[in-house]
Amino acid sequence: MTDRDGRLKIHNARFILTVDAGRRIIRDGSILVEDGRIVEVGKAAELESAPAERVIDASEMVVTPGLLNGHAHISYAHATRGIFPDTLGPDYLPNVFRLQGELDEEAEYYTTLLAIVELLKGGTTCFMDPGSTKFLDACMEAYEQSGCRIIVGTHVTDMPNPVNLPQYSTAEAIAIMENTIREYDHRLDDRVRAWAMPFDASYSTDELLRAAKRLADEYDTGLTLHQINMPSVVAASVRAHGMRPIEYLESLGVLGENVLLSHVIGVDDAEMDAMARTGATTVMCPSQTLKQGSGITRIGKLPELLERGISVGLGTDAPNNSNLMETMRAMYLAAVIYKDGRQDTSMIPPETALELATIRGAEAFGMGDEIGSVEVGKKADLVLFDTRRAEWRTLFNPVNNLVYNADGRSVHTVLVDGRVVVEDYKPVFVDEWALIQKVQQIGEDVLARTGVSFPSRWPVV
């Protein structure tokens, strides 16, 4: 990792999309960074003489806040990525967790590091792994080495579940969540946060859910869980409790400003009202829901969530159900899905899509005062997009070009906490090709060991 001693100046950017309170776009702007934080933002001419130990020439760059991904299973899936047929249905998750169960600490470290490379190279500087990392100590090395910002946890269940996850006693599950928070929250210069992470309300007792919320409150941290209101989930909740799943969470006292519900496909008005009342937040994963046929174009409620003032961020979910871990793609899809689904081009303007990937995502993480915009005092998580590329030109409206034209391939330089982690398109903390070869071998080994395979639809000759 490169050092961050002294001042760093990002100089003369063609545009800085600050996403600050005034949503200013600074033409010909510069940013000064010191001790990991932004200390000045303004016109390049005004900051011309400001001294800096290192200057990054940003003259053909568009600078944005680091992107946030609120739901990305990063710890194992790269080993066997792309093997599952689209139609696997309910057998998908049992297979996923079976293969994950075969990976040891070293394998999880390498697969995690490769996922981090993919995310950082795509401009995503902060991401949430929703509890699927098994060997957090080994993966802490990957977080430290890469310099990423991450929210982790250990997902738990205390009920029988169809997805092959271990079923703990309620007391064990609570202890696991608490130990994870105690051990990992605020580590690595506060770049690592740890939350309570019951896997899914459907596989959790009321006692476990209440305890997860209590831990989030007591430790001043967060709680996240998968919340997908499939018709069967809704029907079961109405049968058992006389109310829909998110209304039931509210009745348990489990919703609040420190609670982030992932996906929220299939929510209704009353459930969104419950989220708005309690301050609960959410992340939506459009590339995953589209690929898995969840009906987001028909039943997705992003406009209604935003209308209620609910903090919404974006996610990509896993490399095997999404599959690209690129927040840029999620941002693009958020901007276009509702235009088509509602046949209304006023839906989710590109500015809103960029907010979802930055400041609104940061608010959904409870980190809106620390990251998510280019403002004095915030942590210096920044992305420099190279506009010396065909897809960026011609360049007049940088927000339109960023959301609709560009993708992660134009990410030139990335800073997290004031440290350069991607430079000239390459991660500075690892030999990427050597890492890829290592993970390919891990995948081949695990498939050979388990005998898991799915035939190609086309003959491989």
Note the residues at the interface with Zn ion (CB under 5 A). 317
- The answer to whether residues 31 and 40 touch, using CB atoms and an 8 Å cutoff, is yes
The rounded radius of gyration (Å) of the Cα atoms in the chain is 21
SS3 16: strand
Closest separation in Å from C-beta 7 to Zn ion:
40
Q: How far apart are CA 304 and CA 284, in angstroms?
A: 13
Q: Which is nearer to Zn ion, 99 or 402 (CB)?
A: 99
Centre a 10 Å sphere on the Cβ of residue 357 and count the other Cβ atoms it contains: 30
Closest separation in Å from C-beta 263 to Zn ion:
8
Closest separation in Å from C-beta 225 to Zn ion:
10
Q: Which is nearer to Zn ion, 317 or 417 (CB)?
A: 317
Closest separation in Å from C-beta 70 to Zn ion:
10
Q: Where do we find the tokens 């992660």?
A: 408
Which tokens go with 97? 């967790």
Single-letter amino acid code for the residue at 103? L
Closest separation in Å from C-beta 202 to Zn ion:
13
Q: Which is nearer to Zn ion, 18 or 69 (CB)?
A: 69
Q: Which is nearer to Zn ion, 365 or 392 (CB)?
A: 365
Q: Which is nearer to Zn ion, 334 or 382 (CB)?
A: 334
Q: Which is nearer to Zn ion, 74 or 422 (CB)?
A: 74
SS3 413: strand
Q: Which is nearer to Zn ion, 72 or 399 (CB)?
A: 72
Q: How far apart are CA 330 and CA 231, in angstroms?
A: 25
Q: Which is nearer to Zn ion, 56 or 136 (CB)?
A: 136
Q: Which is nearer to Zn ion, 317 or 375 (CB)?
A: 317
Helix 245-252 with 231-241: angle, nearest 10 deg: 50
Q: Transcribe 51-106 into DSSP letters.
A: --SEEEE-TTEEEEEPEEES----SSGGGGTT-S-GGGGGGHHHHHHHHHHT--HH
Which tokens go with 166? 């271990």
Closest separation in Å from C-beta 406 to Zn ion:
26
Surface-to-core class of residue 290, CB atoms within 10 Å of its CB (0-12 exposed, 13-18 middle, 19+ buried): middle
Q: Which is nearer to Zn ion, 34 or 200 (CB)?
A: 200
Q: How far apart are CA 271 and CA 15, in angstroms?
A: 40
Q: How far apart are CA 310 and CA 273, in angstroms?
A: 9
Closest separation in Å from C-beta 321 to Zn ion:
8
348-354-360 Cα angle (round to 5): 90
CA of 231: how far to CAs of 94, 130, 137, 201, in Å?
21, 23, 38, 15
Q: Where do we find the tokens 């995690």?
A: 112
Q: Which is nearer to Zn ion, 36 or 131 (CB)?
A: 131
SS3 317: coil
Q: How far apart are CA 352 and CA 249, in angstroms?
A: 28
Q: DSSP H helical segments within 186-230, as ranges?
A: 206-218
Closest separation in Å from C-beta 226 to Zn ion:
5
Closest separation in Å from C-beta 53 to Zn ion:
41
Centre a 10 Å sphere on the Cβ of residue 346 and count the other Cβ atoms it contains: 9
Closest CA to 135 of 119, 113, 157, 120: 113
Q: Which is nearer to Zn ion, 69 or 352 (CB)?
A: 69
Which tokens go with 289? 């829901």
Closest separation in Å from C-beta 203 to Zn ion:
13
Closest separation in Å from C-beta 331 to Zn ion:
19
Q: What are phi and psi of 91, to 5 degrees?
A: -80, -5
Closest separation in Å from C-beta 288 to Zn ion:
8
